[in-house]
Amino acid sequence: MVEGLHTKALQYLHRLGIVHRDVKPANILLDKNLSPHLADFGLAEYKKDLKHVSVENWKSSGKPTGGFHKKNMVGTLVYMAPEILRKDVHTEKSDVYSFGITVKIHLALSSRLHYLHLRVDDKLHIIGVVPYTDLRAEAQAHTVLEMKYTEQQLTAAVVSEGLRPVLAGPESRAPQSLLLLIQRCWDPIPENRPSFDDIVKELGSIIESVNVVQDDEKIPGKSDTSNDQGLNDLNDINTYQETVNWFRQGEVLSKTAPSNLSKWSDASSYHLAYHPKLTWGSFATCGRRETMEDTHVLMPNLCNEKDIHLFGIFDGHRGAAAAEFSARALPGFLQALGSASSPSDALSESFVKTDVAFRNELISQRNSKGVQKDSHPGCTAAAALIVQNKLFVANAGDCRTILCRGGLSIALSVDHVASRTDERERVIREGGLVKWQVDTWRVGSAALQVTRSIGDADLKPAVTAEPEMTETTLTSEDEYLVMASDGLWDVMSNEEVVGIIKDTVKEPGMCSKRLATEAAERGSKDNITVIVVFLRPVSTAERIY
């Protein structure tokens, strides 16, 4: 086990009187033999030097900088012990706390450790394992960012409320003795935490017991000659499959769907109706997130019909799978439904069919071990369908669509969030659990803020995929359409969006980028995706008075 090796490094440091002060996965490097090496001693200090710091001065000095700050509140927030968050001085027991959080992450990572040539922290970025997330049992919360903790809220929760990551359940096959050791390591009282002499001894016993069990349950094809303890917890690697390409899964479904949208175009009234002249662009950024879970589609002239256009945004949570699948599957369902349904009905039904298809595909992949058993990814979605002079908008979740008409913003969707009384009551009627968590109302053990989405199988039917629809007749007064994921709307109002576009060169890609950039500068903590569709001819050269 990796813990059994890098723990000895920490034991060695502590015997020398050195405190590392930044124990975390990013500072554990694996060589080609999977042997771990403790790294990054830039914050390490001799304990005797730390004792000279005046705790009273440190606490009363506010937010120190430079060298003084280096000797005090340092490290990485989510791995910091409660006493450090209270501005106490680092001790060996603070390293023990950080070690406990790190081991918890390794347990979540071990069954999915596929990218063996990467540093541990890089694997975490790819797989999405971070503290305060449980990938081995039902997800009780998303990442700290998904739960929208601010640094102050996280600090308060760790120090005052005893917040800790969710430990692995029995299905993880983690030894109960190891889980108990982790809990002791992150005990709120430093004196109750074990020393690294104790930890090394206990881990030795745990590793020995695991090896005995493995000898009794030999895995076919597994080498018996390796002496590397780093491989002991990687039994599932031989059966681990490549991450599912959800874009491809949705695309396959799209290609099998027959397409016929010609009936939507009413030739008899063509010469009487107003015809918008479209230009479009988009911009997407990961923002402050480590992974990108948004996807979007720009599909002008759908099925080669010159007056039918589709634009959509899919904002994933608990992974990008649902968003990636939906971006390919939903247009296919829409095209298939076009021959028998009105545009509004077809768009609404395509949401529901995409949801069902994704959940069925997830079950299929789970049965073939392509995805984890307790994985329940989902996504919010917004789609705009333009048919001649009619604009149909479907929304499920907290992506948002607005129309600028005569210089004023018109909301074409309403966010589906648990803080809405009517949505909260609907979820409860459908058998869902809604409770106040952290800073707002949330749904189920997954602590989902939204009340409608594609996927999220563990929250169905309460979290429905059925979208709310709006239909708008476009006129010459309509200037442009803006669609965006909640990363934009978290920090910007509808009116502010219109104001920014007014002062931006009228090129849709540039407008999209400016909105996303402005949202990032305002502190948005989410992925940000923006689509801007101009509905009438515009010039990139304007007179400014």
CATH number for 65: 1.10.510.10
Average pLDDT over residues 105-132: 46
**C-alpha closest to that of 35 among 223, 230, 226, 207:** 230
- pLDDT of amino acid 446: 87
| Neighbouring residues of 59: CB distance < 8 A, sequence distance ≥ 6 | 87
Domain membership of residue 444 (yes or no) is: no
pLDDT confidence bin for 219, thresholds 50/70/90: very low
Whether residues 359 and 505 share a domain: the answer is: yes
Q: Which domain holds residue 120?
A: 2-239
Q: How many domains, in total, are found in the chain?
A: 2
Contact 434, 466 (CB under 8 A): no
Whether residues 101 and 168 share a domain: the answer is: yes
The span from the CA of 220 to the CA of 81, in Å, is 42
The span from the CA of 9 to the CA of 17, in Å, is 13
Check whether 117 has a pLDDT greater than 50.
no
Whether residues 212 and 320 share a domain: the answer is: no
pLDDT confidence bin for 303, thresholds 50/70/90: confident
Check whether 168 has a pLDDT greater than 50.
yes
Average pLDDT over residues 196-200: 92
Domain boundary among 186, 221, 239: 239
Per-residue three-class SS string for 77-108: HHHCCHHHHCCCCCCHHHHHHHHHHHHHHHHH
Q: pLDDT tens-digit profile of 318-337? A: 989 999 999 999 999 998 88
Whether residues 157 and 217 share a domain: the answer is: yes
Out of 22, 95, 415, 486, pick the active-site residue: 22
Please report how many Cα atoms fall inside a 13 Å half-sphere around the Cα of residue 129, on the Cβ side. 27
pLDDT confidence bin for 53, thresholds 50/70/90: low
Residue 324's CATH number: 3.60.40.10
Other beta carbons less than 10 A from residue 101's beta carbon: 23
**C-alpha closest to that of 498 among 511, 510, 487, 517:** 511
* C-alpha distances in Å from residue 153, one per residue of 58, 162, 442: 22, 12, 16
Domain boundary among 239, 261, 284: 239
Report the share of the chain in percent with pLDDT over 70. Answer: 74
Looking at every residue in the chain, the average pLDDT score rounds to 80
* C-alpha distances in Å from residue 218, one per residue of 42, 113, 210, 223: 43, 20, 12, 10
Whether residues 302 and 360 share a domain: the answer is: yes
Domain membership of residue 419 (yes or no) is: no
- pLDDT of amino acid 243: 62
Q: pLDDT tens-digit profile of 240-261? A: 333 677 777 776 765 655 566 7
Domain membership of residue 312 (yes or no) is: yes
- Please give the structure tokens belonging to residue 431: 């058998």
Whether residues 319 and 190 share a domain: the answer is: no
Average pLDDT over residues 452-466: 96
Q: pLDDT tens-digit profile of 172-183? A: 567 888 888 999
Is 236 annotated as catalytic?
no
Domain membership of residue 125 (yes or no) is: yes
Whether residues 289 and 232 share a domain: the answer is: no
Domain membership of residue 319 (yes or no) is: yes
The span from the CA of 484 to the CA of 508, in Å, is 13
- pLDDT of amino acid 129: 40
Per-residue three-class SS string for 471-495: EEECCCCEEEEEEECHHHHCCCCHH
Check whether 458 has a pLDDT greater than 90.
yes
Cis omega (within 30 of 0) for bond into 461: yes
The span from the CA of 323 to the CA of 327, in Å, is 6
- Please give the structure tokens belonging to residue 335: 């095209």
Q: What are phi and psi of 69, to 5 degrees?
A: -65, -35
Whether residues 282 and 358 share a domain: the answer is: yes
Check whether 346 has a pLDDT greater than 90.
yes
Domain membership of residue 451 (yes or no) is: no
- pLDDT of amino acid 228: 39
Q: Where do the DSSP E strands lie in 187-251?
A: none
Domain membership of residue 431 (yes or no) is: no
Whether residues 101 and 177 share a domain: the answer is: yes
Query: Would you list the DSSP string of 294-357?
Result: EEEEEESSGGG-TTEEEEEEEEEESSSHHHHHHHHHHHHHHHHHTTTS-HHHHHHHHHHHHHHH
Radius of gyration of the CA atoms of the chain, in A: 27
Report the share of the chain in percent with pLDDT over 90. Answer: 49
- pLDDT of amino acid 224: 41
Range scoring the smallest mean pLDDT among 11-15, 67-71, 415-419 = 67-71
Domain boundary among 239, 263, 291: 239
Average pLDDT over residues 265-282: 77
pTM: predicted TM-score of the whole model, two decimal places: 0.62
Sign of the C-alpha dihedral, residues 360, 145, 437, 136? positive
Whether residues 43 and 119 share a domain: the answer is: yes
Check whether 109 has a pLDDT greater than 90.
no
